[in-house]
């Protein structure tokens, strides 16, 4: 078969290009209303759950890490600090993919919650550490003079004072975690942005789902940021 005839056969086998009709409106409000329930469901069942549970894990684990670094003997404290730095300096996408392929038996959403919680715990631990170090030395000396146990000193004196200056920063990290949830797509978790992209791929309309996703992110994060700012001012005034 000649080169010309071969080219002709290949040309016949190539499918006709898909022509997308873009004559419709730039933003179809009816279509937006139709897909809104699916977008909200993805937000409530995945994005919000991962953020809330991940923040809870990060807040508790971060405090534990900060305390361990301060109370453990030198070599053990160095190991904890090194592990926290390693996790903090590793991209969260790499951590998601690594655990996803390492623990194939685990639910991907559970993996996402664990990764987000542990990753942001390393950041929150630094915030806690700064708050703990800001407690005046006189407070520590007073607890020693009163013969308070170490556990009671941390629980009744140090941690309450440290939290007063750290709550706003912890809230900001929670917002950052919320905005990082789209990274869950790398482990096939259908969070809100992934659902928006899927809808766009199926309907060839991306403006509506992406716009709705952005508005939902704004509607959830902006009031939280305002509350954190007010809380920061109130705590500063109380201090």
Question: Would the pTM count as exceeding 0.75?
Answer: yes
- Find the mean pLDDT for residues 186-213: 94
Which structural domain range is residue 105 located in? Answer: 35-238
What does the mean pLDDT of the chain come to? 86
Q: Is residue 194 one of the residues assigned to a domain?
A: yes
What is the per-residue pLDDT for 202?
Answer: 93
Q: Is residue 102 one of the residues assigned to a domain?
A: yes
Q: Is residue 51 one of the residues assigned to a domain?
A: yes
Question: Which residue has better confidence, 17 or 56?
Answer: 56
Question: pLDDT confidence of 142, banded at 50, 70, 90?
Answer: confident
Instruction: Flag whether pLDDT at 47 surpasses 80.
Output: yes
Q: What is the CATH number of the domain that holds 161?
A: 1.10.3720.10
What is the per-residue pLDDT for 200?
Answer: 94
Q: Is residue 63 one of the residues assigned to a domain?
A: yes
Q: Is residue 9 one of the residues assigned to a domain?
A: no
Integer Cα distance of 120 and 129 in angstroms: 14
Q: Is residue 22 one of the residues assigned to a domain?
A: no
Contacts of 75 (CB under 8 A, 6+ apart): none
Instruction: Flag whether pLDDT at 176 surpasses 90.
Output: yes
What is the per-residue pLDDT for 91?
Answer: 95
Q: Is residue 93 one of the residues assigned to a domain?
A: yes
Instruction: Flag whether pLDDT at 118 surpasses 60.
Output: yes
Q: Is residue 190 one of the residues assigned to a domain?
A: yes
> In total, how many domains does the chain have?
1
């Amino acid at each position: 078969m000649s080169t010309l005839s071969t080219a002709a056969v290949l040309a016949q086998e190539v499918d006709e290009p898909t022509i997308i009709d873009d004559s419709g409106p730039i933003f179809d409000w009816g279509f937006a209303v139709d897909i809104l329930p699916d977008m909200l469901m993805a937000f409530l069942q995945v994005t919000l759950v991962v953020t809330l549970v991940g923040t809870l894990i990060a807040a508790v684990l971060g405090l534990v890490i900060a305390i361990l670094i301060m109370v453990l003997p030198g070599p053990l404290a160095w190991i904890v600090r090194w592990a926290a730095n390693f996790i903090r300096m590793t991209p969260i996408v790499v951590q998601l993919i690594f655990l996803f392929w390492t623990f194939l038996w685990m639910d991907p959403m559970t993996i996402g919650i664990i990764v987000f919680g542990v990753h942001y715990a390393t950041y929150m631990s630094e915030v806690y550490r700064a708050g703990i170090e800001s407690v005046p030395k006189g407070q520590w000396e007073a607890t020693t003079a009163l013969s308070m146990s170490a556990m009671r000193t941390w629980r009744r004196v140090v941690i309450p004072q440290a939290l007063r200056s750290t709550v706003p920063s912890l809230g900001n990290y929670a917002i950052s975690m919320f905005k990082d949830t789209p990274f869950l797509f790398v482990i096939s978790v259908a969070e809100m942005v992934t659902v928006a992209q899927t809808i766009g791929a199926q309907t060839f309309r991306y403006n509506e789902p992406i716009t709705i996703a952005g508005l939902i992110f704004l509607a959830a994060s902006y009031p939280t940021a305002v509350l954190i700012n007010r809380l920061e001012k109130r705590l500063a005034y109380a201090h």
